[in-house]
Amino acid sequence: MSFTLEMIVIGGLTGILSGLLGVGGGFIMIPLLNAAGLLMREAVGLSLLYVVFTATSATLRHFKIGTVDPMLALILLGGATPMAVVGSHYATVLPNNVLEIAFALLAIGATATYLGRGRGKDGAPAKSFSRPDAIPRYRHILLRRRRVKNEELFFTVNIFSGLLLGGCLGVVAGLLGIGGGWLLVPMLVLVMRIPIRIAVGTSLLAILGPAVAGAATHWKFGNFDLKISIPLILAGIIGAQIGAILVARIPSIWLERLLVFLLIVASIYMLGQGLKFL
Q: Tens of pLDDT along 198-247? A: 888 888 888 787 778 878 888 888 877 788 889 988 998 898 888 888 87
User: What integer pLDDT is reported at residue 47 of this predicted model?
Assistant: 83
Segment 130-149 shows an average pLDDT of 67
Across 78-94, average pLDDT:
82
- How high is the mean pLDDT of the chain? 78
The confidence score (pLDDT) of residue 121 equals 42
**Partners of residue 141 on adjacent β-strands:** 138, 158
pTM over 0.85: no
pLDDT at 50 over 80: yes
The pLDDT, as a whole number, for residue 123 is 44
pLDDT in the model for residue 114: 66
Spatial distance between the Cα atoms of 210 and 216, rounded to a whole number of angstroms? 10
Tell me what percent of the residues of the chain surpass a pLDDT of 90. Answer: 5
In this predicted structure, what is the pLDDT of residue 122?
41
Whether residue 32 is predicted with pLDDT greater than 80 in this model: the reply is: yes
Q: Is residue 113 predicted with pLDDT exceeding 60?
A: yes
Q: Do β-strands 141-148 and 151-158 pair in parallel, antiparallel, or remain unpaired?
A: antiparallel
Confidence of residue 117 (pLDDT cuts 50, 70, 90): low
- For 17, residues 6+ apart whose C-beta sits below 8 A from its C-beta are 23, 25, 28, 239, 243, 262
Using the predicted structure, report yes or no on whether residue 119 has a pLDDT greater than 60: no
72 pLDDT band, cuts 50/70/90, is very high
The residue that leads in pLDDT, 114 or 77, is 77
